[in-house]
Amino acid sequence: MRTTVALIALVLIALVAASGCRTKTVYIESDRRSDPQPQPQPQPQPQPQPEPDYIEIEITHFHEPLAPYGTWVHIEGYGQCWYPHNVSDDWRPYSHGYWVWLNDYGWYWVSDYEWGWACEHYGRWMYHKNRWHWVPGYEWSGGWVVWREGGGYVGWAALPPTIGWSTSAGIRTVGVRWEVEIHEYCWVFVEHRHFMSKSLHVVIINRRQTVVILRQCSVRGSLTVNKGRPWNGAIGYDDAERYTGKKPPRRQIQDERDHKVPGHKRDDGEKVHVYRPKVKKADAPDREKEEREKKEREEREKKEKEAREKKETEDKEKADREKREKEAREKKEKEEREKKEKEAREKKEKEEKEKLEKEAREKKEKEEREKKEKEEREKKEKEAREKKEKEEKEKLEKEAREKKEKEEREKKEKEEREKKEKEARDLKEKEEREKKEKEDREKKEKEEREKKEKEEREKKEKEARDLKEKEEREKKEKEDREKKEKEEREKKEKEEREKKEKEEREKKEKEARDLKEKEDREKKEKEEREKKEKEEREKKEKEEREKKEKEEREKKEKEEREKKEKEDREKKEKEEKDKKGKGK
């Protein structure tokens, strides 16, 4: 049976090879029940996905597919870059889509955008002139991001062009100051429980809160190399399961022949359909052409800049001149205006003064008139008052006399009444006194009896209280002793913890200091190298200039010498000619 299966497999392989198709290994399991003597089979190993049959494209291939969704612009130092249309002001890369797990590549970003196949799987992103720009690249991955985690949050950010990729070491992370390379508002954060959400853009934390979250998080890493491929696994599969409480979705990868994959088919629940052509890198002649074009562009930009600066200088001088003229004109107008205002103010003050004087005069006349009327009124009132007072005085004297007689009569009646009341009161007081003495005697006996009972009760309560106080005192002493022992133990633990934290802090400070010294040393070496190169360049330029001057000087001397020889020759020929003519 085994021999038959092997022969069938060989025949199939031969047929496929003959037809020119790409070969695949076919695994066929035999029916073990038909084998009378089963042999132990080795445990099958999980097979990695076969490498795709890559389509090769030029870097410029991105231009046409992305044109309907954004604009291509040239950025100094980066070349042709692209930015998307129809995104909000607080939009960030890798914010509209979701993450799934590929066994051979780690986390893969399923983008919601038609242009996501290129811009979120190739190249880098940078924030330039208040908008995000995509810088095309040559390498494909599940998502070019760096990861952070902590404080109940997980976050990621698009890698900038300054962070390169190495097929041997992956993304460089050692010595990278991420807070410098990536601005705090460029991070995308979600709570742990939302990490596997398919609507991440709905649950993303507002970017104004990222400043607080960044203090709670630490960098977990970026892409590394796994079997020669970019591996996006700084946040592990088990980490995601722990964050969300459920297993993250696993997918196989299905390569497509073009980028026109409908949105609902990019992830069918089992496979992700991916268009990932291999981007050909430019050869040496193209690089020379690029450098030449870059140099020409720089010279052109330099000339344009000089012309622009010249124009700006002229515009500035013109503006200054106009400004001075305007200031002089405004100053003159201001002086004239102030003069007019002063005249108007003086006129107004004069009118107001005259008005005030008139009002004061009228007021004085009015006051004098009112004073005179008042005096006359007061005189009449005084006479009427005196007359009234006289009548009242006579009336009062009469009333006083009648009152005195009435009081004397009432006094006499009162004395007689008081005498009778006193006699009745004395009799009543005597009866009350006798009654009170009897009550006091009974009260005293009762108080003595109650006092005796109270003393006995207090004695018993005191004994019970003493016993209770003794028990509470012993309990309190015990609690104080336990509390003291606990405080000493906590103090000792705190000292050990502080000592440990101090050692860790000193260690971190030392590492930071070493890193800073290294950076300073590298900076110094770079500056010295640049200085040396500059000196050599200047020396070379000086030598060339001296050489050129020397050649020009020699050329000039040669021309002068030839000129002199020519003049001597012509003079000699003339003399010979004259001499010959004279001999004839």
Contact predicate 153/205, CB 8 Å = yes
Q: What is the mean pLDDT of residues 244-262?
A: 87
Rounded to whole angstroms, the Cα distance separating 28 from 400 reads 147
Instruction: Kindly provide the residue ranges of all beta strands, DSSP E only, lying in 129-210, ordered along the sequence.
Output: 131-140, 145-150, 153-158, 165-166, 170-171, 188-191
Query: Please, how many CA atoms are within 13 Å of residue 582, restricted to the half-sphere of its CB?
Result: 6
Rounded to whole angstroms, the Cα distance separating 169 from 305 reads 42
Rounded to whole angstroms, the Cα distance separating 44 from 311 reads 77
Tell me phi and psi for residue 99, to 5 degrees: -100, 140
Per-residue pLDDT reduced to its tens digit, 469-521: 888 888 888 888 888 888 889 998 989 899 898 999 998 888 889 898 888 88
Residue type, 28: I
Q: Binning pLDDT at 50, 70 and 90, where does residue 242 land? A: very high
Per-residue pLDDT reduced to its tens digit, 270-302: 899 999 988 887 554 455 556 666 677 677 778
Which helix (H) or strand (E) segment holds residue 305: the answer is: helix 284-583
Residue type, 344: A
Per-residue pLDDT, 208: 86
Counting residues of the chain whose pLDDT is more than 70, the rounded percentage is: 87
Per-residue pLDDT, 263: 67
Tell me phi and psi for residue 98, to 5 degrees: -160, 165
Contact predicate 189/154, CB 8 Å = yes
Per-residue pLDDT, 37: 39
Per-residue pLDDT, 143: 96
- Pairing state between β 278-279 and 56-57: parallel
Q: Which SS3 state, helix, strand or coil, does residue 221 take?
A: strand
Closest CA to 276 of 229, 211, 327: 229
42 has a pLDDT exceeding 50: no
- Pairing state between β 106-111 and 79-84: unpaired
pLDDT mean across residues, the chain:
84
Q: Per residue in 463-481, is it b (16+ CB within 10 Å) or e — as a string?
A: eeeeeeeeeeeeeeeeeee
Q: What is the mean pLDDT of residues 449-457?
A: 88
Backbone torsion region of residue 497, taken as left when φ is above 0, otherwise alpha when ψ lies between -120 and 50, otherwise beta: alpha
Which helix (H) or strand (E) segment holds residue 121: the answer is: none
144 has a pLDDT exceeding 50: yes
Rounded to whole angstroms, the Cα distance separating 265 from 120 reads 18
Model pTM greater than 0.85?
no
200 has a pLDDT exceeding 90: yes
